[in-house]
Amino acid sequence: MHTEHSDEVATARRILVWKDFVPEFLRFPLMLLIIVIYMLSGGVYMSAVTEISGSLSWIKEDILMAGYASMTGLTIAFPLLFRILFRFPTRSILLVSAVVFIVCDYVCMVCQYLPLVVLMSFISGFFRILSTFVCWSNLQLRITPNRDFAVFFPFLFTVILGSVQLTDIVTGYSISAFDWRAMHRLTIGAFIVVFALVYFCMRRGYRQAPYIPFKGIDYLGGILWSLWLLCIIFICVYGEHYDWLDGEPIRTAIVFAVILLAMCLERAASICHPYISLKTFSQRNMIPIFVLFGCMSLMSTMVSSVQNVYTNALLGFDARHNADLCWGVVAGIAVGAGFFFVALKRWKWRIKNIVIAGFVSFLLYQIQLYFLIDASTEKYMLYLPMVFKGAGVSIVYTSLTYALAGCVTFAYYFEAMCVIGFIRTSFGGPLNSAIITRLLNHIKQAATADLGSFVDSMHPMADSFSAVYGEFQRQMLMVSLKEIYGYAAIAAGLILLAIMASDYRHYVGSHINRMLKLTQVWRNVRSRS
């Protein structure tokens, strides 16, 4: 039996989807190349928001809506991944995905009709997670023959998070050299190459698992959850633009969101195989993991937005210089993944302690940026904070995903990943955008009012007020960004304290329960006597 298993593993490690003429030493890097190229697909690239809005006369919120729609498509696909993997051959999935990416990127490049761009971005996100999942399922046994997640997840998140940063890097460089459409032309060309590679070099009809038909899938539930997520994103993205509850579109979106959520929950409670089962939320440690994912997602996206405002508005960085900073994040991601592996496998740390280390790394990034926010800051001074930022995100995401795999049963694992994705990819960005925009506007209004009350007609600065107003705006923005980073650092510190205090809470709770039991025993003894 052991020999048969070893032979099976050895055979699987060859990555059998490739035809025999493909050399063994090329099979693994070629599959990684396909993953990285497919990760470049995004419909609309949010790192090109300024350039797209200037070219198409769209407001910033329009581009963000399309970008977050891609994240929604990525999130909502999780419950279907294994069903699609078991239903269709690997080659067919990758070929269809390449064609879909070509169509979506072309439409997003030339189309000026926003609803269609949002739809194409959603579809692109759906096929991005599907195609990369298929590739990873072929690579898993090559990376770790015994399916050790402590080995697989660090490698997985290094490639995934690194590819996200690579997308921003390539987008920034292409914008600097050409225009924002150059990224779409580049990816379309890459997808054509991948299509040819898959068509000629992969086996026809190869499937990793036995055929399972598409039966018992709650398609309506998937559509309802998708619409609900898009409503939430619309509220967060356009809230400030339409003045929140004073705007009719926001009030309408809130009503639709409430109705859709009620329909989703009612459907999940009433049918046998819902798209997302309510039992997913009752899995062991699901809620704490969900909360920690939400905290890290919110903080990472929020400070990233603040960082972009700082580098663009105060330091005057263009797309190329912002892209250069992403290399520091890539280095941090690799360091974080390596730290997770060593801490878990060599040092035998608990997952909780590794998560704490990740939050500490991210806190160090926030503290460094707090003190570096100044108009005279040089670019090289920002690379070290970027490393801490990448390491923190990598450690926390890898640790929490590993913890999720250990406490959620396989039947609900991908539904749990979908729920985690609600806040990690769908809520995090839009909610961050809403919070940052609102907070910056509030701070600016307060500072402007203070200046107006300080400078009256008799003040010596009154005659030259218009001349110094621009400098005042710059200083006010700098103070505002520093204040936001301070709040974020305090929030991260409080999260750290809460995590570290959880064991103490359990200790105190168990001690109190023990004392209550002893008290009850004493009362029983006294009553009998």
Which carries the bigger pLDDT value, residue 223 or residue 406? 223
Instruction: Say if CB 383 and CB 326 are below 8 A apart.
Output: no
Whether residue 517 has pLDDT greater than 50: yes
Task: Tell me the average pLDDT across 260-282.
Answer: 90
Query: Given this model, what pLDDT does residue 220 score?
Result: 93
For residues 165 and 389, give the distance between their C-alpha atoms in angstroms, rounded to a whole number.
12
Residue 410, Cβ neighbours under 10 Å: how many? 8
Mean pLDDT of the chain: 84
Which percentage of the chain shows pLDDT scores above 70? 87
Please write the tens of the pLDDT for every residue from 348-382.
999 999 999 999 999 999 999 889 888 888 889 99
Please write the tens of the pLDDT for every residue from 107-163.
999 988 899 999 999 999 999 999 999 999 989 888 988 888 999 999 999 999 999
3-state DSSP assignment of residue 18: strand
Assign 273 a pLDDT band (cuts: 50, 70, 90): confident
Whether residue 100 has pLDDT greater than 90: yes
Whether residue 503 has pLDDT greater than 70: no
Residue with the two structure tokens 């598409």: 214
**Lowest-pLDDT choice from 46-60, 141-155, 272-286, 505-519:** 505-519
Nearest to 444 by CA among 488, 482, 472, 476: 476
Which carries the bigger pLDDT value, residue 326 or residue 449? 326
Q: What is the pTM of this model?
A: 0.88
Assign 177 a pLDDT band (cuts: 50, 70, 90): confident
3-state DSSP assignment of residue 216: coil
Query: Given this model, what pLDDT does residue 507 score?
Result: 46
For residues 479 and 18, give the distance between their C-alpha atoms in angstroms, rounded to a whole number.
57
Assign 495 a pLDDT band (cuts: 50, 70, 90): confident
Please return the burial class of 462, using the count of CB atoms within 10 Å of its CB with bins 0-12, 13-18 and 19+.
exposed
Whether residue 256 has pLDDT greater than 50: yes
The DSSP 8-state label assigned to residue 48 in this structure reads G
Which carries the bigger pLDDT value, residue 413 or residue 42? 413
CA 241 to chain centroid, in Å, comes to: 24
Query: Given this model, what pLDDT does residue 528 score?
Result: 58
Whether residue 446 has pLDDT greater than 80: no
For residues 518 and 524, give the distance between their C-alpha atoms in angstroms, rounded to a whole number.
10
Assign 1 a pLDDT band (cuts: 50, 70, 90): very low
Instruction: Tokens for 231, please give them.
Output: 């409503």
Which percentage of the chain shows pLDDT scores above 90? 43
> Phi/psi of residue 145, each to 5°?
-60, -30
> Which helix or strand (DSSP H or E) is residue 158 part of?
helix 149-177
> Phi/psi of residue 457, each to 5°?
-65, -20
Which carries the bigger pLDDT value, residue 123 or residue 176? 123
Whether residue 516 has pLDDT greater than 80: no
Whether residue 262 has pLDDT greater than 90: yes
Query: Given this model, what pLDDT does residue 509 score?
Result: 46
Residue with the two structure tokens 């890290």: 296
Whether residue 310 has pLDDT greater than 90: no
Which carries the bigger pLDDT value, residue 212 or residue 259? 259
Task: Tell me the average pLDDT across 508-525.
Answer: 52
Instruction: Tokens for 232, please give them.
Output: 């939430």
- Cα atoms found within 13 Å of the Cα of residue 7, Cβ hemisphere only: 4
Give Cβ neighbours of residue 417 (< 8 Å, ≥ 6 apart): 78, 404
Whether residue 505 has pLDDT greater than 70: no
Query: Given this model, what pLDDT does residue 524 score?
Result: 59
Instruction: Say if CB 440 and CB 307 are below 8 A apart.
Output: no
Please write the tens of the pLDDT for every residue from 35-84.
999 998 878 888 888 888 878 778 888 888 998 999 899 999 999 998 88
For residues 100 and 340, give the distance between their C-alpha atoms in angstroms, rounded to a whole number.
36
> Phi/psi of residue 10, each to 5°?
-60, -40
Task: Tell me the average pLDDT across 422-446.
Answer: 73
Angle at 250 between CA 247 and CA 253, to 5 degrees: 150
Nearest to 370 by CA among 274, 281, 250, 483: 483
